[in-house]
Structure 1
């Protein structure tokens, strides 16, 4: 599973950060700094929580190809 961020959709609510600051880092203005990354199985629940918390749907999980 891959975690992806559409930076154009992020408006800095920082709701993802509130779910897991280590997985969803933000800048000083609250905008996500998530890099596209492959997630280990033990991080999937935290990733889903952050993706679901994003009101702008800027974050998504994708199956590996």
Structure 2
């Protein structure tokens, strides 16, 4: 029954085991630098405070910091998927 439900929703068991990923929309960044203040290990900034980190996979341990950074970004540059 559950497998049938997942296939209807377009989710498979493989999707549930996929690693978490940070996705960044650089065009929206205004240089507030809140992401790097909260999670410097996940976000690198240029000299003007704009995020230059590319989208990447993150560990389960980094997920809370990534989610917090996404939440506090006023421009909604960051999304966490997985």
1:12 aligned partner: 31
Alpha-carbon offset, residue 35 of structure 1: 1.2
1:35 aligned partner: 54
TM-score of the two chains, using structure 2 as the length reference: 0.72
SS state at 1:2 partner: strand
SS state at 1:8 partner: helix
Alpha-carbon offset, residue 49 of structure 1: 1.2
| Structure 1: stretches of 5+ with no match in the other structure | none
- How many residues matched? 63
TM-score of the two chains, using structure 1 as the length reference: 0.89
TM-align CA RMSD: 0.9
Tell me which structure has the larger Cα radius of gyration: 2
Runs of 4+ displaced beyond 6 Å? none
RCO comparison, higher one (Cα < 8 Å, 6+): 1
